[in-house]
Structure 1
Amino acid sequence: MEQNKASQKWTITLFTIGVFMAGLDNGIISTALTTINDSFEVSPSWGTWSITIYTLGMAISVPIVGKLSDRFGRKRLFIVEILLFGIGSLLVALSPNFIFLLMARLLQAIGGGGIFIIGSSHILSTLPKGKQGKALGMLGGMHGLSAVIGPNLGAVILSLTGSWHWMFLINLPIAAFLIIFGFLKMEETKAGTAKPLDFKGSILLTVGILTFMYGITQFDSGSVIISIFIPQVVILLIIGIVLFVLFIFHERQLEQKGGDPIIAFSLLNNRLFKVTLLLGLISGGFLAGIIFIPAFVQQVLQVPVEHAGYWLTPLAIASGIGAGLGGVLTDKYGASNAISLSGVLGLFGFLLFAFWVEGFFSFVLASILAGVGLGILLGAPLNMLAGESAHNGGKGMALGTLSLVRQIGLILFPIVYAGFMTGAFTKIEPAIQQKFGHTLVESDNYGGLITSVDAIADPELHIDILDTATSVINTGFSNMFITAAVLSILVMIFGIYLNKFKKPI
């Protein structure tokens, strides 16, 4: 359904604001995590569930919301999603206890998880092909920027207000604006369908996702391989996989009977879509590598936390530029070429982080390369490929499935990366003992390490031991960046494959 030009501008603007608002939330809360845990008197391990449950909620909601947007209409679903996100934000701010906060965060995630999918589906369904990439790039840019800006914005809000509650209350006027202008300015782009909703498929998919991803979150970052054989983890993963198999079998039968499946089996059987899903999984690892860069700035480059935001600004800007550039390149040269370029830029950027970055200017260069590469990959190309895979409609369904796979990558790869960090920390004490004959209070986190080093009275020894500890920590980050570089090579290979064997999208 074509919309007039003014309506399209308003619609895409509202989607962009919604995507940015929802994407900021997890980054913002990470800044105040310790404050929130202290206010409810919960342990750090229990407190991290305020982030984990948001990620799980998004993973559950995105494929189902994508399907519902195809079924009931994108305007309707957008307004419902914003309303749920706004109510969830208010309930988080008013939470009387931690369990209530977790439930409110889950409601937030269900509301925020589908906004990007609905916006992307709208663009693929209403804009001419030559303009889709640019619009998708804008949405992807906001999505990527929010992940990088979130922690810094959270720190600003916390310092200005002194209360973590305002991090969620500021969502309310934005949500109200989006709902009001959504009613007034957006036009519906998808008529409803008379076919019954696939409740059985929805339940199988929801429980399968929740079980499988909860199993992943139980991995021990210090020994990922061993974690796979922990009985609790094994049971959760097996149940999740069995439910996925049952879900696919059910969807195939339903499609053959002429029903309306959540995810069409014919889509899952599409070769182009399979490659797109693999790229989506890899992009989760790509993004996870970027997420660890702030820790690299503080722990390896020894930049004080109050100055770290300045160092990270080029990365945020580069991600936004990359998303816009990816949209333009996709429109002009095809998604496969844009994907290949993102892999090349990511490869050089991550290798620079691993082997060359020592100061501000080398850091900025590596940030620009990795940031632009990430922006390109998270923007238009993969969404265009997913939309192209859904030949007979169902673009929201395809985009939701892609987003789900990316969320799995975004949970799985940080566990692997954290394992590199944990391994590095275990080597600090032996390295210091061997070099200086000095014993530190053993610690598995950076804060504890610094406290132990600061207790050393001799200034020269203090500096030398801190340099040695930093050098050992850097080995963990180097392994992470090398892994991210390998993922970038895979992105290049898939891009070349698509360019060679498929027509440019």
Structure 2
Amino acid sequence: MSGLDNGIISTALTTINDSFNVSPSWGTWSVTIYTLGVAISVPVIGKLSDRFGRRRLFIMEIALFGIGSLMVALSPNFVFLLIARFVQAIGGGGIFIIGSSHILSTLPKEKQGKALGMLGGMHGLSAVIGPNLGAVILSVTGSWHWMFLINIPIAIFLIIFGFVKIGESKPGSEKPLDFMGTILLSFGILAVMYGITRLDSSAFLESLMELDITLFLIAGIILFVFLIIHERRVEEQGGDPILAFSLLRKRRFQMTLVLGLLSGGFLAGIIFIPSYVQQVMQVPVEQAGYWLTPLALASGIGAGAGGFLTDKYGAARTVIISGFIGVFGFSLFPLLSDGFLSFLIASILAGTGLGILLGAPLNVLVGESAEKGEQGSALGTLSLIRQIGLTLFPVIYAGFITGSFSKIEPAIENDFDHSLNASEGNYGNLIDSINQIDNSQLQLDILNAVIEILKTGFATMFTTAASLSLLVIICGLYVKRMNKLEL
């Protein structure tokens, strides 16, 4: 439910913007505010669940998410909707973290991988099927409000059965909560994430140099430096830091965070596949969902397989396996996917690699690094780093695609002596411009030329995603070597 939310709303962004009469740039804040809220909440909620008990925090998170969903559906204006989306994010951000930390703290080690794989499978599937599910709800109900109202009965069900079925974990430290650390962490996350969301995909390096963006990124980094200094002091004085300095010093945990960042880039590559299907393979929007179904199923199966492999062969080897599958999957997209069969093979491999990585191994690595009572906080930190990757890499990937759009107009003018409307990377305007050409043969030739140009942008994106998969392999080998040295 929480994982589906951003994917679902992306389908209805235009409809929501029109209903409140706001511009597309202002309207995207309904997604941005949710991303910021999740990023802020995951490490804080993870720590609170360690301190006060996971069932209590889980039920509170579900209740907040349900209340936020109702507020969104009943929003009288756009500002109220943004506030409601932030409430949703604070509720949704900790649900997955609490579930994962509950598994790590209650199940024996030999069963953790399978359970985490099942949980990760649901989370991975949600990111892939969210946009398609949103389209279904919108087409059946005709109203974007039902995308949020549907969460209410689910939340009520979860609250009731949370009380009945989930056992409460023992509260952790009774030491005072680290308020200063919480404030530094929250504002540091807010500054960095806000700066990243302001980056321009069409001019990435130029926007990185803009003062209003650079100031937020620098401020966030400075706040994180102060946070680390503060947490070290709190830990030395016997306090209970929001993020244990001793945990941050562990090489295994550091490598797990690097893998978390790479997994965000891994997932971002998957998110752009619907655009590839429509723009390069020329699959109509109404049929694109069917082409993505194998990928969604593969990610779910991969998550389950990742849990099995983690239990049997260990987290490090499972990470390496996911990297190899990801390299082959992403490399096949630009090389072979000219038809459904080759696309099917590439998407199954990419989805399987993603599912394996997002499922059990990273969470198990966190469990191996964190002391008892720190699992929630450590998992929250991992989730935050993944969220940063999931926010940063789409900007980079979109820059590759937008760059290919910028080459269309001059290429068509030189080769066909014809002008097209390819401004601002708007694919709809581009296709409308091509459809207005009277000569059917010229129309077909220009469309094929446009597809070839767009393919170069997507090829660069998939090559970058494959390179990230290669880095996943390297990190996995490093963790495996550390394990051998410890033995």
In which range does the TM-score fall when normalised by the shorter chain? Answer: over 0.9
Q: How do residues 224-235 of structure 1 correspond to structure 2 at under 5 angstroms?
A: 224-235=204-215
1:46 shift after superposition: 1.0
- Matched with 2:360 is 380
1:497 shift after superposition: 1.5
1:87 shift after superposition: 0.1
- Give the distance between the partners of 2:181 and 2:171, measured in 1 at CA: 22
What secondary structure, in the 3-state scheme, does the structure 1 residue paired with 2:423 have?
coil
Of residues 90, 93, 105, the one that matches 1:113 is 93
1:393 shift after superposition: 2.9
Of residues 493, 497, 501, the one that matches 2:474 is 493
- Give the distance between the partners of 1:228 and 1:442, measured in 2 at CA: 25
- Matched with 2:388 is 408
- Matched with 1:34 is 14
Q: How do residues 37-76 of structure 1 correspond to structure 2 at under 5 angstroms?
A: 37-76=17-56
Deviation string, structure 1 residues 473-495 (Cα, Å, up to 9, x no partner) = 11110000000000000001111
The AA in structure 1 aligned to 2:40 is I
- Matched with 2:288 is 308
- Give the distance between the partners of 1:392 and 1:118, measured in 2 at CA: 14
TM-score by length of 2: 0.98
1:448 shift after superposition: 1.2
- Matched with 2:446 is 465
Q: Please say if residues 298 and 352 of structure 2, whose CA atoms lie closer than 8 Å, have aligned partners that are also in contact.
A: yes
Are residue 453 (structure 1) and residue 434 (structure 2) matched?
yes
1:392 shift after superposition: 4.0
What secondary structure, in the 3-state scheme, does the structure 2 residue paired with 1:36 have?
helix
Q: How do residues 4-403 of structure 1 correspond to structure 2 at under 5 angstroms?
A: 21-403=1-383
What secondary structure, in the 3-state scheme, does the structure 1 residue paired with 2:201 have?
coil
The AA in structure 1 aligned to 2:446 is I
- Give the distance between the partners of 2:407 and 2:323, measured in 1 at CA: 32
1:363 shift after superposition: 0.6
- Give the distance between the partners of 1:115 and 1:390, measured in 2 at CA: 19
- Matched with 2:413 is 433
What secondary structure, in the 3-state scheme, does the structure 2 residue paired with 1:188 have?
coil
Deviation string, structure 1 residues 206-232 (Cα, Å, up to 9, x no partner) = 111001110111111112112221111
- Give the distance between the partners of 2:470 and 2:403, measured in 1 at CA: 25
- Matched with 1:419 is 399
- Of the structure 1 ranges 318-327 and 239-248, higher mean CA displacement relative to structure 2 is found in 239-248
1:185 shift after superposition: 1.4
Q: Please say if residues 172 and 373 of structure 2, whose CA atoms lie closer than 8 Å, have aligned partners that are also in contact.
A: no
The AA in structure 1 aligned to 2:415 is K
The AA in structure 1 aligned to 2:436 is A
Q: Please say if residues 119 and 359 of structure 2, whose CA atoms lie closer than 8 Å, have aligned partners that are also in contact.
A: yes
1:194 shift after superposition: 1.8
What secondary structure, in the 3-state scheme, does the structure 2 residue paired with 1:222 have?
helix
1:441 shift after superposition: 2.5
Deviation string, structure 1 residues 122-145 (Cα, Å, up to 9, x no partner) = 000010000000000001000000
- Give the distance between the partners of 1:338 and 1:442, measured in 2 at CA: 43
- Of the structure 1 ranges 166-175 and 490-499, higher mean CA displacement relative to structure 2 is found in 490-499
1:391 shift after superposition: 2.5
- Give the distance between the partners of 2:170 and 2:213, measured in 1 at CA: 41
1:93 shift after superposition: 0.2
| Aligned-pair Cα RMSD in Å | 1.1
The AA in structure 2 aligned to 1:265 is F
1:190 shift after superposition: 2.5
The AA in structure 1 aligned to 2:57 is L
- Matched with 1:478 is 459
Equivalent pairs counted in the alignment come to 485
- Give the distance between the partners of 2:451 and 2:28, measured in 1 at CA: 26
TM-score by length of 1: 0.95
Q: Please say if residues 20 and 77 of structure 2, whose CA atoms lie closer than 8 Å, have aligned partners that are also in contact.
A: yes
- Matched with 1:8 is none
1:149 shift after superposition: 1.0
Q: Please say if residues 173 and 240 of structure 2, whose CA atoms lie closer than 8 Å, have aligned partners that are also in contact.
A: no
- Matched with 1:16 is none
Deviation string, structure 1 residues 393-427 (Cα, Å, up to 9, x no partner) = 30001100000000000001001001001100000
1:374 shift after superposition: 0.2
1:193 shift after superposition: 3.2
Q: Please say if residues 265 and 393 of structure 2, whose CA atoms lie closer than 8 Å, have aligned partners that are also in contact.
A: yes
State, as a whole percentage, how many aligned pairs show the same letter: 70
1:71 shift after superposition: 0.3
Deviation string, structure 1 residues 155-189 (Cα, Å, up to 9, x no partner) = 11101100000000000000000001111111101
What secondary structure, in the 3-state scheme, does the structure 2 residue paired with 1:22 have?
coil
- Give the distance between the partners of 1:378 and 1:190, measured in 2 at CA: 28
Deviation string, structure 1 residues 431-466 (Cα, Å, up to 9, x no partner) = 111211111124221111111111111111111111
Q: Please say if residues 405 and 422 of structure 2, whose CA atoms lie closer than 8 Å, have aligned partners that are also in contact.
A: no
1:192 shift after superposition: 4.6
